[in-house]
Amino acid sequence: DIQMTQSPASLSASLGETVSIECLASEGISNDLAWYQQKSGKSPQLLIYAASRLQDGVPSRFSGSGSGTRYSLKISGMQPEDEADYFCQQSYKYPLTFGSGTKLEIK
């Protein structure tokens, strides 16, 4: 199984700050990586797929990058509505696996 190691587990950011979250896959996943945002009490929502492609309707301050085994999600200019949990997921092969999540809070 492909293990997804996500870091940090939590972070706090000031409004307007740029933040990054990383995921490390235990083997190469050929950019088959997605990022999800889950706000408190809500269902997860797809932000990024294929490592860097923005899902329709997602603000452009969100971006994804990476290759091979290392991927990252960047939020350029933290907004109040970005306070949430974030998860990465490899879609390269079964079993599909998620990172353990990052709790992002406003400082």
Partner 1 sequence: EVQLVESGGGLVQPGRSLKLSCLASGFTFSNYGMNWIRQAPGKGLEWVASISSSSSYIYYADTVKGRFTISRDNAKNTLYLQMTSLRSEDTALYYCARRGMAHWFAYWGQGTLVTVSS
Nearest residue (CB) to partner 1, 20 versus 55: 55
* Nearer CB in complex with partner 1: 66/99: 99
Evaluated on CA atoms 91, 80, 41, 101, the torsion sign reads: positive
Which of 100, 71, 79, 74 lies closest to 10 in space, CA to CA? 100
What are the structure tokens assigned to 8, written together? 């940090």
**In the complex, least distance from residue 96 CB atom to partner 1, rounded to whole angstroms:** 4
Interface residue list for partner 1 (CB under 8 A): 32, 34, 36, 43-46, 49-50, 55, 87, 89, 91-92, 94-101
